[in-house]
Amino acid sequence: MLDPSKFLADPSAVNVAAAAQSEVALGDPKVIARDVNVWYGDKQGLKSVSIDIRSRSVTAFIGPSGCGKSTFLRCFNRMNDTIEGARVDGTILLDGRSIYDPDLDVVELRARVGMVFQKPNPFPKSIYENIAYGPRIHGLARNKSDLAQIVETSLQKAGLWDEVKDRLNDPGTGLSGGQQQRLCIARAIAVSPEVILMDEPCSALDPIATARIEELIDELRANYTIIIVTHSMQQAARVSQRTAFFHLGVLVEEGPTETIFTNPSDKRTLDYITGRFG
């Protein structure tokens, strides 16, 4: 359902949404980060960040470009490992267990912590193959019909099933931008992750497609822990229960979304949300 009020930048809409969200009981900490530092070569991208991410809720990371929010997001599934010259230290616990635990394979971690990227990036394969790939490499399906079931459920959860059920063998790259992004979300869901990381998932999409994704994020909250990086403060206000504001590699302030947007305790947060910089 499209709710026109979600498109409004006007603060009263934010307040209404935030007030509604404040009633939602937030879960226990799913992910705990303590003193996380990230270096790119000699440059420190992230300075001693600590945060608790609640389960079955949406946490938004906001802040101006280059503030370290995407860098921090990529720590949770160790995507920073793949970047040449990147170095991470500090503690990150998933369900109380370090993600750098030698017993926890990075492959397993990434199966438990899925990711959706800024630009929709379906594989140049069929829609079916896009979804089936993850379950297949992790051996989640016992047989073909099992796999087909996973594909269908994932597409349904991502709200894409009705649009693509008759053309599952068409290339995934032939879909529209919004559909491609939902395909990527379905692909992430297909491996049954516990946490889904979203790195500006709507920045390449038009407003209609954006609304559709935001609605989807709201639905997914019931089953998954979601962390979303966004440039749009309205989006953060619309979809998240908690918001963290980053500036120059530092976590300035973190708290319930309505508090951050209505009564921030730090002046930098206030300046940012009122549009004085960023």
Partner 1 sequence: MTVATDIAATGFESTDKVRASLARRHAAEKRFRLIGLVAILLGLGFVAILFASILAKGLPAFWQSNIRLTINLDPAIIKISPPPQQQEGQSNAAHQAELLAWRGELASLNWGRLIENALIAELPSDAAQRRRDVSRLVTSGERFKLRDLVAANPNLIGSTVDVDLLADANVDVWVKGNIDRTLPDAQLPLNPVQRNYVAVLQEKGLLVQRFASGLFVNVDSRSSLASAGLAGAFIGSLYMMLIVIVLAVPVGVAAAVYLEEFATKNRLTDLIEININNLAAVPSIVFGLLGAAVFINWLRLPLSAPLVGGLVLTLMTLPTIIIATRATLRAIPPSIRQAAIGLGASRVQTITHHLLPLAIPGILTGAIIGVAQALGETAPLLLIGMSAFVASVPVTPLDQSTALPVQIYLWQGNELRNFFEARTSAAIIVLLALMVMLNGLAIFLRRRFEKRW
Instruction: Give the interface with partner 1 as residue ranges (CB under 8 A).
Output: 77, 79, 82, 84, 107-111, 114-115, 117, 119, 121-124, 133-134, 137-138, 173, 184, 187-188, 191
Distances from the Cα of 8 to the Cα of 12, 161, 189, 278, angstroms: 9, 29, 30, 20
Q: How far is the CB of 238 from partner 1 (least distance, A)?
A: 25
Annotate 99-148 with DSSP letters as a single string: TT-TTS-HHHHHHHEEEE-SS----SSBHHHHHHHHHHHHT--SSHHHHH
Q: How far is the CB of 2 from partner 1 (least distance, A)?
A: 28
Q: How far is the CB of 140 from partner 1 (least distance, A)?
A: 11
The CB density around residue 1, as the number of other CB atoms within 10 Å, is 4
Q: How far is the CB of 117 from partner 1 (least distance, A)?
A: 6
Based on CB atoms, which residue is closest to partner 1, 128 or 261?
Answer: 128
Based on CB atoms, which residue is closest to partner 1, 140 or 250?
Answer: 140
Based on CB atoms, which residue is closest to partner 1, 158 or 191?
Answer: 191
* Angstrom distance (rounded) from CA 238 to CA 140: 34
Based on CB atoms, which residue is closest to partner 1, 228 or 251?
Answer: 228
* Angstrom distance (rounded) from CA 202 to CA 167: 24
